[in-house]
């Protein structure tokens, strides 16, 4: 049995504003996962037939699917629930395909294709093999190419890259066709519902005891349309009118140093190509 399989669901190319940029971010996510300090892991990337992908290092595999584009991918305010429902189905069936392709895994972790994970995750799972799994309540927010990060203490509610779950707790069928849409949407397509469902079954997830992932926010390809750290968490109306919250968020800002880049695989700052001539 493999200890942990990371699953990266990749959207249909027609749902990407810039496929080249998506692949560049995916390549950085791949590098982040590949830095694990324990070697009992693999990663399955689920992508459509014919979709170009970045080079894959050892332990990475591609599961090709034929699902069509999500017609409701661009969320509209006047029909948000239908949009979210379509996203849950599309993402969930991609995740299901990846999990069924790696059914000999003890644990699964779904990773969004533009996020970063701690290099210590697999080592922690190995040390506590048999546990139900973990919820990453503590994480970081990071602006693309930014030099600042902000610690975020309700991370699992905010980011999909936040759950490590023992595979048998999903109670997956052996065949894709035997899985209902309701199950796909609730247990696979929405990270916000899974932990509560498991707790109700008497199988609660434990909080990961360290900051386990980085949510890249504020870039053009972000489906959540998340804003920058400063705009969304410091200089926003809600924070500015609450002094305690403002101080709380300011205290959680930290400079991205070499140690953080090593642990999460964050890319270095882009150098300007401008020159005087």
Tens digit of pLDDT at every position of the chain (277 positions) = 999 999 999 999 999 999 999 999 999 999 999 999 999 999 999 999 999 999 999 999 999 999 999 987 776 555 667 778 889 999 999 999 999 999 999 999 999 999 999 999 999 999 999 999 999 999 999 988 788 889 999 999 989 999 999 999 999 999 999 999 999 999 999 898 899 999 999 999 999 999 999 999 875 445 444 556 766 656 566 665 666 767 766 788 888 999 999 999 999 765 544 443 3
User: 3-class secondary structure for 138-157?
Assistant: CEEEEECCCCEEEEECCHHH
Question: Domain spanning 2-136+154-213: which superfamily?
Answer: Spore Coat Polysaccharide Biosynthesis Protein SpsA; Chain A (3.90.550.10)
Domain ranges of the chain: 2-136+154-213
Token pair 């052996």: residue:
174
Q: How far apart are CA 4 and CA 149, in angstroms?
A: 27
State residue 139's pLDDT score: 97
State residue 128's pLDDT score: 98
- In the DSSP assignment, the letter for residue 49 is T
Residues 126-183 pLDDT 10s = 999 999 999 999 999 998 878 888 999 999 998 999 999 999 999 999 999 999 999 9
Cα 219 vs. chain centroid, distance in angstroms? 15
> pTM for the whole thing?
0.89
Token pair 């990663």: residue:
43
Residues 251-261 pLDDT 10s = 888 889 999 99
- Which sign, positive or negative, has the C-alpha torsion 195, 89, 65, 8? negative
């Amino acid at each position: 049995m493999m200890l942990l399989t990371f699953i990266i669901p990749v959207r249909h190319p027609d749902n990407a504003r810039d496929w080249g940029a998506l692949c560049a971010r995916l390549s950085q996510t791949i590098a982040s996962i590949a830095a694990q300090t324990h070697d009992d892991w693999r990663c399955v990337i689920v992508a459509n037939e014919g979709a170009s992908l970045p080079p894959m290092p050892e332990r990475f595999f591609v599961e090709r699917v034929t699902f069509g584009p999500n017609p409701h991918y661009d969320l509209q305010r006047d029909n948000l629930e239908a949009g979210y429902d379509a996203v849950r189905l599309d993402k969930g069936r991609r995740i299901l395909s990846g999990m069924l392709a790696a059914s000999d895994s003890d644990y699964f972790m779904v990773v969004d294709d533009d996020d970063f994970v701690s290099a210590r995750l697999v080592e922690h799972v190995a040390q506590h093999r048999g546990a139900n799994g973990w919820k990453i309540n503590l994480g970081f927010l990071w602006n693309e190419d930014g030099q600042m990060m902000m610690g975020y203490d309700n991370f699992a509610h905010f980011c999909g890259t936040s759950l490590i779950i023992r595979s048998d707790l999903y109670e997956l069928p052996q065949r894709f066709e035997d899985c209902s849409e309701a199950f796909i949407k609730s247990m696979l397509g929405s990270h916000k519902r899974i932990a509560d469902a498991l707790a109700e079954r008497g199988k609660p997830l434990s909080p990961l005891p360290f900051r386990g992932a980085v949510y890249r926010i504020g870039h053009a390809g972000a489906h959540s349309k998340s804003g920058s750290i400063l705009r969304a968490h410091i200089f926003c109306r809600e924070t500015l009118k609450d002094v305690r919250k403002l101080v709380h968020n300011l205290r959680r800002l930290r400079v991205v140093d070499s140690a953080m880049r090593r642990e999460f695989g964050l890319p270095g700052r882009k150098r300007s190509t401008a020159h005087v001539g």
